[in-house]
Amino acid sequence: MIYHSLPLSIALVIVNQFTIQVSGHGRLLEPPNRSSLFRCQEFSHLEPPENWDDNALYCGGKLHQHEVNDGKCGVCGDPYDAPIPRANEDGGELYRGIIVRGYRSGDIIPVEVELTTSHKGYFQFRLCAKDDTSSHLDQSCFDEHLLQLADGSGTNYRIPIRGGYYYAEYNLTLPKGVTCQHCVLQWHYEAGNDWNDCMDGSGGLGCGRQENFRGCSDITIFPEDTKAVDRNPNSRFRPGLELSVRVSSHGRLLEPPNRSSIWRCKEFSHLQPPKNWNDNELFCGGRLHQIEVNGGKCGVCGDPYDAPIPRANEDGGELYKGIIVRAYKSGDVIPIEIQLTTSHWGYFQFRLCAKDDQASHLDQACFDEHLLELADGSGTNFPIPVNSVEFYAEYNLTLPKGVTCKHCVLQWHYNTGNHWGICEDGTGANGCGPQENFRACSDIMIMPQDTEFIDRNPNSKFESGEGDEKAWEYDRNALRRCNSTEIVWSEL
């Protein structure tokens, strides 16, 4: 057999050409696009059609888009020359008219995009605000509203890497004054992976014709002054319980009831605690805000670190009423209940700030004095074994012996583990590096261990059975803590 070697320059050209032609793949996950709805458990009852190629809405491919269709693309990523209605457009086989999210005019909204193979370039989002879905959508409608990034940096979200997996989470600002019962949000990805002639006559990556991706999500935008908005109008879960493919996780501390969730508990309704409809979003302002703006810092009760003092969930804040929700004895084994509407691996921790002086500002140093142990002796971290599903945790903690207080604060901390980052050994893996965090605070009392009688639920409007240790079990079984959804959702 005779082998012929190629000149090095020719070999490099061949290798480079092959690398350039590899197609990127990506999908819009939040708000869920039409082709990806079937991946979301919250919409499973509506039986959306399945498109297992939902990461390949790339206008038929770069060559087809530019050589056959002269650069044109269907508004939702279908080939431009596909039969009307195209598969992802109104009336198409993948369209069901399912409204996936509800917002207010002018809202800052989260978007999440997954690139299974990133090809540099940038994302843009546009809004078509016409409610008439019987007529054919065209690009001119979307071009009326090119959305701005919430950080004020413009309209283009730049992709910093070429090749490999990339997951983008950032915020957009909806235009003020624009409302619609059924409008369409369009994601457009202009890749920057191919070498072409630039406008100045030179050549470079990202110049000229590039691979494009698109995706369409059906949304509602209410007037800015709308008081109550159902963010997930067609979800099979209750309003506020958001669950999709890999959206930001959501969770709340239910037992002992945290400051933002007390209003959900019938036992405290007579005290008229303030309502926080977003009590499952005490995530330090969001992962990007926590990391990029606040250097990883978070308010002790889950508020953004840069929020005005007193922060909403801290002593003196708008959501604080100083309601003691539970009473324990020093050294008690106490029950904990947490609801994750979307789990993201990671672990829970609990800390106790035992100072009774509520006049001074709470700081993390006080909580760090008492990192609580799991009652089964397995340590301080309660691991979350699942990802992207609803998860309800019930377990026990041990309060430190010898620690008493008339008004102390229990802090829940959830360190998620579903983001890819650099580990301490230099490798990369999910759960390494900065992750999304959640926190919440509950106001409790801890009596000396030899106290004979304790009212476990000191501010409950229900008969607690003072001096009766069975009151605790009564509360757990009959009241189901604060998971009394009928009082919440009927008020929407």
262-267 own/partner pairs: CB under 8 Å, 24+ apart = 262/321, 262/323, 262/325, 262/482, 264/482, 264/483, 264/484, 264/485, 264/487, 264/488, 265/479, 265/481, 265/482, 265/484, 266/461, 266/479, 266/484, 266/487, 267/457, 267/460, 267/461, 267/462, 267/475, 267/479
- DSSP bridge partners of 146: 126
Quick one: the chain helix, strand, coil %, rounded to 5? 15, 30, 55
Same domain, 197 and 280: no
> Is residue 239 a part of any domain in this protein?
no
Same domain, 168 and 265: no
Q: Per-residue pLDDT for 24 more than 70?
A: no
Q: Which of 70, 48, 50, 49 lies closest to 59 in space, CA to CA?
A: 70
pLDDT, residue 233, reads 83
> Is residue 5 a part of any domain in this protein?
no
Please say whether the beta carbons of 318 and 308 come within 8 A.
no
**Amino acid at residue number 359:** A
pLDDT-derived band at 134 (thresholds 50, 70, 90) equals: low
pLDDT, residue 388, reads 61
pLDDT tens digit string along 83-121? Answer: 999 999 999 999 999 999 999 999 999 999 998 888 889
What CATH number corresponds to the domain at position 126?
2.70.50.50
pLDDT, residue 12, reads 30
> Is residue 227 a part of any domain in this protein?
no
pLDDT-derived band at 167 (thresholds 50, 70, 90) equals: confident
> Is residue 14 a part of any domain in this protein?
no
What is the value of pTM for the model shown? 0.52
pLDDT, residue 448, reads 95
Give the residue-averaged pLDDT of 188-216. Answer: 85
* β 212-222/101-104 pair status: parallel
pLDDT-derived band at 19 (thresholds 50, 70, 90) equals: very low
Please say whether the beta carbons of 55 and 268 come within 8 A.
no
pLDDT, residue 239, reads 37
- In our burial notation (b when 16+ CB lie closer than 10 A, e otherwise), range 386-395 reads ebbebbebee
pLDDT tens digit string along 300-338? Answer: 999 999 999 999 999 999 999 999 999 999 999 999 999
Same domain, 314 and 446: yes
Same domain, 80 and 158: yes
pLDDT tens digit string along 444-474? Answer: 999 999 998 888 888 887 654 433 333 333 3
Higher pLDDT, 438 or 199: 438
pLDDT tens digit string along 288-304? Answer: 888 888 999 999 999 99
pLDDT, residue 266, reads 87
pLDDT, residue 358, reads 63
Give the residue-averaged pLDDT of 435-443. Answer: 96
Same domain, 205 and 280: no
∠ CA 281-284-290, rounded to 5°: 135
pLDDT, residue 344, reads 84
Q: Per-residue pLDDT for 198 more than 60?
A: yes
Give the residue-averaged pLDDT of 184-204. Answer: 86
Give the residue-averaged pLDDT of 76-89. Answer: 97
Q: Per-residue pLDDT for 488 more than 80?
A: no
> Is residue 99 a part of any domain in this protein?
yes
Neighbours of 57 (CB within 10 A): 32
Please say whether the beta carbons of 44 and 256 come within 8 A.
no
| Number of domain units in the chain | 2
Same domain, 165 and 270: no
Q: Kindly state the tokens that stand for 326.
A: 């539970």
- Among residues 205, 222, 239, which one ends one of the domains? 222
400, exposed or middle or buried, with CB in 10 Å at 0-12, 13-18, 19+?
A: middle
Q: Which of 355, 288, 332 lies closest to 448 in space, CA to CA?
A: 332
Q: Kindly state the tokens that stand for 462.
A: 């229900």
Q: What are phi and psi of 68, to 5 degrees?
A: -95, -45
> Is residue 73 a part of any domain in this protein?
yes
Highest averaged pLDDT of the listed ranges 50-54, 357-361, 388-392? 50-54
Please give the mean pLDDT across all residues of the chain: 83
Same domain, 213 and 325: no
The residue range of the domain holding 363 is: 251-420+433-454+474-479
Give the residue-averaged pLDDT of 206-225. Answer: 91
Q: Per-residue pLDDT for 216 more than 70?
A: yes
pLDDT tens digit string along 238-248? Answer: 333 332 333 34
> Is residue 161 a part of any domain in this protein?
yes
Give the residue-averaged pLDDT of 257-262. Answer: 96
Give the residue-averaged pLDDT of 56-67. Answer: 94
Same domain, 287 and 174: no
Same domain, 340 and 194: no
pLDDT-derived band at 8 (thresholds 50, 70, 90) equals: very low
> Is residue 282 a part of any domain in this protein?
yes
pLDDT, residue 475, reads 37
Same domain, 140 and 35: yes
Same domain, 401 and 256: yes
Same domain, 199 and 321: no
